[in-house]
Structure 1
Amino acid sequence: MAGEMRAGGPGGGDPGAGARRGVASGAGEGAPGGWAGALVMVPVLLLIGGVVLDVFGPVPYGGLPLLSAGPLAACMVLTFRGAAITAAGACVVSVCVDVLVGRPLTALVVDLLDVAVISGIALWLKWVVQSQGQRFAAVRAVAEVAQRAVLPPPPARVGAVSVATRYECAYAEALIGGDFYAVRGSPFGVRALIGDVRGKGLPAVSTMAVATSAFREAAEQAATLRELAEYMERALVRFAADVGDQPDALERFATAVLVEVSEEEGRVRLYHRGHPPPYLIRGGRVTTLEPSVPGLPLGLGMPEGVAVSGCDTFPFDQGDYLLLVTDGVTEARDRHGVFYEPRTRLADREFRTASEVVDTLVADVTDWTGGQRHDDMAIVVLTPLSARSPD
């Protein structure tokens, strides 16, 4: 991150980096460099220009607007302390210039009040923005820490399956989203989950925590993916009932795809609940694994049987890669508004590891959007391994 989690591959990122970085209150908060260093000089140049126009300009008081603009510019490019020093300097300069040109006391007081009032307003606005930024950073830090607690990176290998995951936030400044994933071994094979909770922020994280906790608890016990999904459905419905007095309680649902890799059979089973379908990468071809019977999202509390989808089975052998994504990938757009299509963008490429698939996809989506994504994205890649495989 800002907004990045990695697992199952080299070069894992720190998902809490964005929270610790906080929100800068101005271009001058960090060490100036390049354009930032030049911007720091703007307030000084405005004060110098004001003095020159007042002393040598053909029109009286011609430099007063520049003297007043100096503190305003300082509030945009300097720290609060630096802006306050600039404001005090502008007031002193205004008095000195009026004394130098011999203006009467009344004009001196009026000029001083003009600069002082504008400086005071600018400093107050900077304080408000800075305070809001600090509160925002604190809320974002809590959300990211909460997400790390409920969304720990899975191991690089579960059973005979290699696992690679990534979580990417759309904006460094945004609250954490509701995309989630989990991978767990079970007596029935390696089971995985990817999903997306409606909304963002702490409400989404709390709903995500319920969904992933229910998955981890039932993954080793539920005999089928349908039973596993029903367990998650009941957990989300109970949670919605528990927070029923909150305005968004009725909207706390999640799309999901549940996966079961049968190592002995060489097959993968998929159970869809309103989520974008996975992709199978095999020999340079990318195939969309569409559900035979689409299902409704989890947590809607629909009557028994209404939201039931079919469980589909596909061959899954060594060298195959199962790619699970959220709509942050499939709905990523280029500058012409064209959606990203993994089937064509990842076709005819050779991959050696699951981590390589993840890295390639993230880089390609970033290139496709020009770095201007508008939604978070979660990615899970699974691939079968031989017993002696080092991956």
Structure 2
Amino acid sequence: MAIVLTDVLSPGLPMGPSLLIVAPALTASFASTLITGAIAALAAAGMLVIGLQNGHLLGGTMDFGSQLIALVVVSVIVTVFRYLQERHARELELIRTVAEATQRVVLRPLPRRIGPLRVGSVYMAAQEQSLIGGDLYAAVRTPTGTRLIIGDVMGKGLTAISDAALLLGAFREGAHRQAGLSDLAAYLDHSVCWNLADPTEAEKAGECFITAAILDIPDTLPQVDMVTCGHPPALRLHGQKVSTLHATCPAPPLGLGEMADHHYHVDTFTFEPGDMLLLHTDGVIEARDTRGVFYPLSERAPSWAPHSPSALVNHLRTDLLAHVGGHLADDAAVIAVQRSRRPTPTEATETAPLPRPVGRGGQAPDSAT
């Protein structure tokens, strides 16, 4: 409107009509297809008004006709471009919604309470616009206690997610069927090996393994049983004191069972009411700052011990991202487990509602409980 009024009031300006092409071009950069088309139509109408006012339209001058044609062509192009851009955005949003739902099915958020345990978890995926990657965790309630697993698949991308989904499915089934923790570890190793032996996975044979820590926390005993398969040791927070739960005889990662004697050693550690277990993947302790310094988890964790498991993992997440400058080079997962008082029969089967995972940019989305 400013261009039209300026040209009508000052007919001697030669560039008035040609400047109208700016209107639809700018509109397409921020407005919808409908508004872009409407502005394009108004620009064309404005050029006709200028032509009638100055006599160029009736006179049929070549310059005015070229300007009008150029305006119409550019308006059509930017309007079509805006339509295609909006359609692509809708398709991308649909794909993200489906992917997010699928990833939540694969990596289910842990409940806030499982029997006598209070639980907090956080997942930070290194890959852009992803909620999960190659790290994994899960918890299964059994008649005598709670079994947990945390692991890290070698590699990244869709292949790592597929292997993580396989192991999580095997764990959720085997945790109920296998009486002993050693038998459960052997079952999970066989499941990974069977997947690698599948003809469709032949190209991955010998190239895939999964580090994991498998835990069994009885309801009635102040202890935790653990099988470590090449995974970083867990931390136990007792008040302001932190101790590292080193495995006496760690086993090879899952998928490399042929390198072991098929006997998985079970370590037993004290886990009293009020104690906190901090399970993590190597993406946490191997995260570096700009100077190349690793994240000091064992030094930072005791300061958060008085907090609840959920608050602890949230503090850890914020501190870890600040340490690396907001972007992780590898997936990272953390589980904090605290033993509370002895559960009542009702609490023994309690599971809290599953919260919606919180994504992060940088962007490494996470799910926090």
- Which is further off, 118-127 or 287-296? 287-296
Within the alignment, does 1:199 sit opposite 2:156 as a pair?
A: yes
Shift of the 139–266 alpha-carbon distance from structure 1 to 2, 3 Å rule, reads same
Q: Which SS does the other structure have where 1:381 is aligned?
A: strand
- Which is further off, 315-324 or 115-124? 115-124
Among 230, 238, 248, the residue aligned to 2:194:
238
Among 80, 92, 95, the residue aligned to 2:45:
92
Relative contact order (alpha carbons < 8 A, sep ≥ 6): 1 or 2 greater?
2
Counterpart CA distance in 2 for 1:60 and 1:308 is 89
Counterpart CA distance in 1 for 2:192 and 2:343 is 40
1:54·1:97 contact (CA, 8 Å) conserved in 2?
A: yes
Within the alignment, does 1:351 sit opposite 2:306 as a pair?
A: yes
Counterpart CA distance in 2 for 1:142 and 1:221 is 32
2:186·2:263 contact (CA, 8 Å) conserved in 1?
A: no
Instruction: Kindly state the Cα deviation for residue 259 of structure 1 after the two structures are TM-superposed.
Output: 1.7
Instruction: Kindly state the Cα deviation for residue 235 of structure 1 after the two structures are TM-superposed.
Output: 2.0
Q: Which SS does the other structure have where 2:170 is aligned?
A: helix
Structure 2 length-normalised TM: 0.73
Count of residue pairs brought into register by the alignment: 342
2:135·2:332 contact (CA, 8 Å) conserved in 1?
A: yes
Shift of the 76–261 alpha-carbon distance from structure 1 to 2, 3 Å rule, reads same
Q: Which ranges of structure 1 fall in alignment gaps of 5 or more residues?
A: 1-46
Instruction: Kindly state the Cα deviation for residue 157 of structure 1 after the two structures are TM-superposed.
Output: 3.2
Counterpart CA distance in 2 for 1:61 and 1:247 is 65
Shift of the 218–175 alpha-carbon distance from structure 1 to 2, 3 Å rule, reads closer
- What is the match of residue 166 of structure 2? 210
- What is the match of residue 9 of structure 1? none
- What is the match of residue 119 of structure 2? 163
Instruction: Kindly state the Cα deviation for residue 151 of structure 1 after the two structures are TM-superposed.
Output: 3.3
- Which is further off, 220-229 or 303-312? 303-312
Shift of the 223–135 alpha-carbon distance from structure 1 to 2, 3 Å rule, reads same
Q: Which ranges of structure 2 fall in alignment gaps of 5 or more residues?
A: 351-369
Shift of the 219–81 alpha-carbon distance from structure 1 to 2, 3 Å rule, reads same
Among 79, 93, 98, the residue aligned to 2:32:
79
Shift of the 124–242 alpha-carbon distance from structure 1 to 2, 3 Å rule, reads farther
Structure 1 length-normalised TM: 0.69
Q: Which SS does the other structure have where 1:323 is aligned?
A: strand
1:113-154 CA-to-partner distances (Å, cap 9, x unmatched) read 333333344334434433333333333222222233343334
- What is the match of residue 296 of structure 2? 341
Shift of the 48–225 alpha-carbon distance from structure 1 to 2, 3 Å rule, reads farther
2:112·2:120 contact (CA, 8 Å) conserved in 1?
A: yes
2:195·2:201 contact (CA, 8 Å) conserved in 1?
A: no
1:140·1:176 contact (CA, 8 Å) conserved in 2?
A: no
Identity %: 31
Shift of the 169–245 alpha-carbon distance from structure 1 to 2, 3 Å rule, reads closer
2:224·2:270 contact (CA, 8 Å) conserved in 1?
A: yes
> What is the aligned-residue RMSD (CA, Å)?
4.0
- What is the match of residue 136 of structure 2? 180
Larger Rg belongs to: 2
Structure 2 residue identity aligned to 1:138: L
Counterpart CA distance in 2 for 1:51 and 1:307 is 87
Instruction: Kindly state the Cα deviation for residue 258 of structure 1 after the two structures are TM-superposed.
Output: 1.4
Shift of the 93–223 alpha-carbon distance from structure 1 to 2, 3 Å rule, reads same
1:188·1:223 contact (CA, 8 Å) conserved in 2?
A: no
Q: Which SS does the other structure have where 1:77 is aligned?
A: coil
Within the alignment, does 1:320 sit opposite 2:275 as a pair?
A: yes
